[in-house]
Amino acid sequence: MRISDVLRSKGSTVATVEPGLSVAGLVAQLARHNVGAMVVTKDDKVVGIVSERDVVRQLHERGTALLDSRVMDIMTTSVVTCLPTDSVDSLAATMTERRIRHMPVVQDGTLIGIVSIGDVVKSRIGELESDREQLESYIAGG
């Protein structure tokens, strides 16, 4: 299965924020969209990614003053992305190795979606269920 199949199933809407947004604004957007991470964009280009974990870690270090900081101060700038043609299995391996929970999907420099570790697990469970059904059908017919 390819990442494009996952996006076709879940949709390609991506919640994004700009780097100049306050962390308080970011927290509000995370809650509003009910997501664990947001892609940071500027002029429609991916410039970073920021997650709930980033906020929590910085909150621990800096206290509530963090809320007045900007997203650009806490975002990850070396964003690992994938292509819609990548396989779900290769993405799962990359996410596991690099401890990444959210990966933007980019094609020709344009953000076209985001895949979470939950999406990968859901996809894999779907494949396993399909395999099981095929095996049961084969056994019942044979």
Identify the CA nearest to 64 among candidates 55, 52, 77, 51: 55
3-state secondary structure (DSSP) of residue 21: coil
- Over residues 24-46, the pLDDT tens digits come to 999 999 999 999 999 999 988 99
- Over residues 44-101, the pLDDT tens digits come to 899 999 999 999 999 999 999 999 999 999 999 999 999 999 999 999 999 999 999 9
Q: Which CATH architecture has domain 3-141?
A: Roll (3.10)
> For residue 140, what pLDDT is reported?
87
Please give the model's pTM, rounded to 2 decimal places.
0.85
> For residue 142, what pLDDT is reported?
59
The domains of the chain are located at 3-141
Region for residue 21 given its phi and psi (left: phi exceeds 0; alpha: psi -120 to 50; beta: otherwise): beta
**Banded model confidence at residue 108, pLDDT cuts 50, 70, 90:** very high
What is the distance between the alpha carbons of residues 34 and 30, in angstroms, rounded to a whole number?
6
